Amino acid sequence: MTNNTIKESEVNGNEYDRKKELEEFDNTKLGVKGLIDSGITQIPRIFQHPPETLFDFQKAVRITGDAENIIPVIDMAGTHEEVVQKIRDAASTYGFFQVVNHGVEVSALDRLVGAIRAFFEQPDEEKIKYYNRDSVASGVGYFSNYDLFHSKAASWRDTLQVQLGPKSVDPNAIPNVCRAEVMEWEKEVKKLSARLLSILSEGLGLSADRLSPESFLARINMAGQYYPYCPEPDKTIGIASHSDHGTLTVLLQDDVGGLQVKYNGQWIDLKPVRGALVINVGDLIQMVSNDVYKSGEHRVYANPLPRSRISVPVFFNPAITSDKLYGPLPELVSPEKPALYKQFTISDMNAKFLKKELKDKTMTSYFRL
């Protein structure tokens, strides 16, 4: 527990021991899937979000029709010049885009989704073996809501987290039911991330290696996210609105949907595209690019469908060091375009990230001059 732990709250005017209920839920080691398996028809109070959060979800105007496709789907088989320009445009406008013909076989993506689903839907006694909130130390952890004891309300999802860098976890520590698929995905996503970073670098008018993998892609975490059916989706959420704090995120999502991206004050349903991968720019790249690129704000609503939703984001970040400084690249700063952010270390950024609940973790606000 930390000083940020919420000890009690009010829902519908009734006080209750929130800390106790959080601990009781966590001690089951069965996550939100365990609640559904138990046959509940109403969600526990610890998952009920405050009115202002729910109101934001309900009042948002979802763009419909042709405009739903506003987030670009970029064919990486196009000419290099076209791909660089399209990714630059998408990263500077939305902070999000999808890529197809990215070099990863669609069958491999299908296998990964199936394997992550199999992990969460295996017998409880097998899954519980991996229940561990300290996946940073162990390399592998299954849990529900990493910020369970820090946030004002829990979200309706469970997670299997696997460390892929700077040092990959021992393969034997990965659950057998998804081991081969995760190891296959690790090789593919590392190659793709390096290619994307190179393209983003060129999109800034810099050399392809100016944003080097060694400086920006060393720390890698994969999260297999499981969103089971929620009996009261209007009272909770899947993931709160936030931007990713690191370099970039490569996301594989199944065909259920639920991811929304904010653009011009409206929430856009980012519809799944068969064989596509969702890419979003993180806060670090927005700051390094001096606001040329944008870190896209996004969220996931609670799953109202009887079929569970699977998504597999891989988060890329620099290694945590105490001395290397990050900030706007000198080549992108001029008297006409002064630096918008101060210099900072990744250890300082990470410390600030860990002190806040997810929805309060936009790093650009911390370091803006």
Q: Which of 167, 168, 166, 249 has its CA nearest to residue 215?
A: 166
Q: Residue 2: its pLDDT value, please?
A: 34
CA 133/CA 120 separation, integer angstroms: 16
CA atoms within 13 A on the CB side of 323: 0
Helix ranges (DSSP H) in the chain: 18-28, 31-37, 51-59, 80-93, 106-120, 124-127, 135-138, 179-203, 213-216, 283-288, 346-354, 363-367
Q: What confidence tens digit (pLDDT) does each residue in 294-328 have? A: 999 999 999 999 999 999 999 999 998 768 999 99
How large a percentage of the chain has pLDDT more than 90?
Answer: 77
Sign of CA dihedral 177, 257, 218, 187: positive
CB 252 within 8 A of CB 270: no
Average pLDDT of the residues of the chain: 90
| Residue 288 pLDDT level (bands cut at 50, 70, 90) | very high
Q: Residue 361: its pLDDT value, please?
A: 56
| Residue 13 pLDDT level (bands cut at 50, 70, 90) | very low
CA 142/CA 155 separation, integer angstroms: 15
Q: Residue 357: its pLDDT value, please?
A: 52
End-to-end CA distance of the chain: 33
CA 117/CA 98 separation, integer angstroms: 22
- Provide the 3-class DSSP secondary structure of residue 285: helix
Q: What confidence tens digit (pLDDT) does each residue in 84-124 have? A: 999 999 999 999 999 999 999 999 999 999 999 999 999 99
Q: Residue 65: its pLDDT value, please?
A: 45
Q: Residue 11: its pLDDT value, please?
A: 41
Q: Residue 360: its pLDDT value, please?
A: 52
Q: Two tokens at 111?
A: 């296998």
Q: Two tokens at 80?
A: 């290099």
Contacting residues for 318 by C-beta, under 8 A, at least 6 apart: 215, 216, 217, 218, 219, 246, 247, 284, 324, 326, 346
Q: Residue 7: its pLDDT value, please?
A: 37
Distant-in-sequence contacts of 335-338, Cβ < 8 A, 24+ apart: 337/290
Q: Is residue 6 scored above 70 in pLDDT?
A: no
Sign of CA dihedral 137, 139, 144, 150: positive
**DSSP track, 79-143:** -HHHHHHHHHHHHHHTSEEEEES-SS-HHHHHHHHHHHHHHHTS-HHHHGGGB-S-HHHHSEEEE
- Please tell me the pTM assigned to this model: 0.91
Q: Is 1.20.1250.20 the CATH classification of the domain at 17-320?
A: no
| Residue 4 pLDDT level (bands cut at 50, 70, 90) | very low
Domain boundaries, the chain: 17-320
The separation between CA 40 and the C-alpha centre of its own chain, rounded to angstroms, equals 28
Q: Residue 52: its pLDDT value, please?
A: 75
Q: Residue 5: its pLDDT value, please?
A: 35
DSSP helix, strand, coil percent of the chain (3-state; round to 5): 35, 20, 40
Q: Residue 15: its pLDDT value, please?
A: 58
- Read off the amino acid at residue 130: Y
CA 119/CA 160 separation, integer angstroms: 8
